[in-house]
Amino acid sequence: MKVRQMVKKAKKGDKESLLKLIMDQKEDYYKIAYSYMGNQHDALDAMEDMIVKLYEKIDQLKKHDSFYSWSKKILVHCCYSIYRSRSKVVLVDEWQDQMSTSGHSREHNQVDKNMDIHQWLSMINPRQAEAIKLRYFQDLDYQSIANMTNTSLGTVKSRIFNGLKKLHKLSGGALNEEN
Amino acid sequence: MKKIERMLNEEKQRIDHKQAPPELEERLRTALSNEEKHRSFRIPFIWKTVAAIMLVVILAGYNYQALAYYGKRITGFDGVVSDTLQDLNEAGLGQVIDKEVPLKEGVTMKIDGLMSDENRLILYYTMTSEKGNLDEPAYTFHPSKITGLFTDAKFESGGGQMNQANTELKGTYTFEPPCPFAKELTLHFNQLNKQVTFDYDPSKAMEASIKQNINEEVTVDAGKIRFDTITATPTLTTIKGTTDVNINQMIQPFENIRLMANGEPVQPKGGGYSHSFGRTNFELEYDALPKNLDNLELKVEKFPGSEMVNEKFPLKRGETLNVSGYDIVIKDVSVTNKQTKLTVVTDESVKLKNVSIGDQSHQTPLTETVNQKLNKEKDHLSVERTLIFDSPASADYLYIESMEFMKPYNKGIQIVGN
């Protein structure tokens, strides 16, 4: 069945059509969600949020052909919402951890050779991290990133540039020693 | 390559190899199934807009009369204008203008609106002055005319009502009708170098309901009355004509020409006449005609006429003489060593011609008439005159050769109906 027809059906409230649309490109969706969230659990949560939002808002979709770009934009948005709400939550043990090492700067304290890339990315501005993830993990060009995150091309470029610069600076001590 | 880029690339490789977990489909389906009840059936914006427009159109269309009514009415003149004008105003036949112009030293004139037809233009205005000096002559304004394209309409009449504090005057000015080509009119004042210009929509001028030639004559003793045209508009009915009867000394020669619509007299509103080349051009004004007009008749009930009397009446103080249906009251007779003064009271229209007094031996003609005084009686005007005769002797009789007076003719001209 063509995308257009399925979108039409989905618009009329057919949930299976909507599900099929997503499942047809499930790998793409999953990779976006995973690259954002960094783990399977959160990626699946983000996709759940996405499909609910799609179902609610599919009436607003004007061009049936642009279903995929539209739905991926929503996925990015869902990921970002979860990501942001998660970053506000500080688990008690982490918090106590911070307390015990008070007196050191947080950045310096947490810099660790064994940190994975997601932990590094969590230390920079989330918008910068988002742009870097889309650029590197999804191989998207600048324009696509701009479209997906509702920003201008220039903003995307500067976010990636400044984000990387910040990462280099943070990691300077810990990582460059290895080289 | 720097470490960070390397880590990013490694992560990308890792993500690329990630496969969507098999439970994905089931999780998404579950998420959707919970959502079912909350799905809102959005009504597309366009349909909401269409519905709103239709509602407005239906409501506005249904109440069009009421909206037009409030939109066009010139408000606040209930006490100032006649019933006819008020009815027309309530029917929304005026033009609302609402233009304010400062006239002089704090006095502002607001032209509220106007009403026009082929007979006249009525301007509704409000004068305001915070100083409360509108009753002073220096702040009383007299319009002279209205000008515009092919228009030079003279001021005809005006009237208004002042509030107690003399801060607001609401009134109307009546002018001759403007030319239908005028789109803009200018109001001029006497003795005030100020003009007020306002927009005028000639298409809103009310049309005449009757406009026709009468071309009929009524013959009276002293000549003929010719009725030329009738123009009946929603505000006024005007009849124009000419006469060769000498009406020079009459105060209200046309007062007994009545316009009867459906058998009822139409209220007279005024009139005027002018003389040229021995003829008198007259214009009679009546109120607007009723809507359902079956019958319209012009009735010359009375008109100045004359009659030979040729009679001697006994001259006695307090005597009332009845001549041709009119009373002549001899109020006073006094004799001095040179003159005889005779004071008589008659109807305003009565004029005695070739009067003399006398006894058996001789007759003395009238020398002059003095002390003419008008008195308002219940339903007519009476006049008191003193007739002076150069005769020191007391006389026995009063001789009247002829008399001019409002003579009943009761001649009708049918304009509408049989």
The residues that bridge with A86 in the sheet, in sequence order, are: none
DSSP A104: B
Cα dihedral A29, A35, A38, A42 sign: negative
Cα(B138)–Cα(B313) distance, integer angstroms: 56
Is the domain of B193 the same as that of B223?
Answer: no
Among candidates B3, B7, B24 on the partner chain, residue whose Cβ is nearest the Cβ of A30: B24
> Is B36 within a domain?
yes
A19 to chain B, closest Cα gap in Å: 7
Give the domain CATH number at B244: 2.60.40.1640
**A·B CB contacts under 8 A:** 95
Q: Both B299 and B317 in a single domain?
A: no
CA distance B372 to B175: 34
| b (16+ CB within 10 A) / e for B113-128 | bbbbbbbbbbbbbbbb
Collect all residues of chain A within an 8 Å Cβ-Cβ radius of residue B33.
Answer: 15
**Full domain range(s) for residue B369:** 306-405
Residue B174 lies in a domain: yes
Q: Which of residues A83 and B363 earns the better pLDDT score?
A: B363
Tally of CB atoms within 10 A around A108: 11
Domain boundary among B140, B171, B204: B204
Q: Alpha-carbon distance B111 to B103, whole Å?
A: 12
pLDDT, tens only, B307-360? 888 888 888 888 888 887 888 888 888 888 888 888 999 888 888 888 888 887
Q: Establish if B68 belongs to a structural domain.
A: no
Chain A residue with CA closest to B13: the answer is: A137
Interface test with B, best of A12, A28, A35, A78 (most B CBs within 10 A): A35
For chain A, the straight-line distance linking the first and the last C-alpha, in angstroms and rounded, comes to 53
C-beta separation of B140 from B128 below 8 A: no
Whether residue B218 sits in one domain with residue B196:
no
Q: Do A27 and B11 touch (CB under 8 A)?
A: no
In a domain, B77, yes or no: no
Domain boundary among B154, B177, B204: B204
Q: Is the pLDDT of residue A104 over 50?
A: no
pLDDT, position B65 = 62
B88 in the same domain as B33? no
pLDDT band at B73; cut points 50, 70, 90: low
Instruction: Give the residue-averaged pLDDT of A105-126.
Output: 65
Considering the domain architecture, whether residues B366 and B280 belong to the same structural domain is answered as: no
Question: Could you tell me if residue B32 is inside a domain?
Answer: yes
Residues B179, B219 share a domain: no
- Reading the block at residue B111, the tokens are 């032209």
Is B38 found in the same domain as B9?
yes
Count of domains observed in chain B: 4
- Does B67 fall in a domain? no
Which among B175, B204, B233 is the end of a domain? B204
Give the ipTM.
Answer: 0.74
Residues within 8 A of A (CB atoms), B 5-64 only:
5, 7-12, 15-16, 18-21, 23-25, 27-29, 31-33, 35-36, 38-40, 42, 44
Higher pLDDT, B221 or B81: B221
Instruction: Write the CB contacts of B44 (distance below 8 Å, at least 6 apart in sequence).
Output: A59
Question: If you measure CA to CA, which chain A residue comes closest to B21?
Answer: A40
What's the whole-number average pLDDT of chain B? 83
Q: Give the pLDDT of residue B146.
A: 92
> Which domain CATH number covers B120?
2.60.40
B197 and B101 in a common domain = yes
Say whether both B38 and B113 belong to one domain. no
Is residue B71 in some structural domain?
no
**Measuring CA to CA, which residue among B201, B173, B235 is closest to residue B96?**
B201
pLDDT of residue B341: 87
Question: Do residues B325 and B383 share a domain?
Answer: yes
Residue B31 shares a structural domain with residue B51: yes
The answer to whether residue B115 is domain-embedded is yes
Together in a domain, B120 and B168? yes
Choose the weakest-confidence range: A102-106, B241-245, B257-261.
A102-106
pLDDT at B402: 86
| pLDDT at site A109 | 43
- Measured between alpha carbons, how far is B63 from B276 in angstroms, rounded to an integer? 55
Summarize pLDDT for B14-71 with one digit per residue, the tens.
888 888 888 888 888 888 887 764 455 567 788 888 888 888 888 877 776 665 555 5
Tokens of B250: 């009459």
Which of B191-199's residues contact partners 24+ apart within 8 Å by CB, and which partners? B191/B142, B192/B103, B192/B104, B192/B141, B194/B101, B194/B103, B194/B104, B196/B99, B196/B101, B196/B109, B196/B111, B198/B97, B198/B99, B198/B111, B199/B97
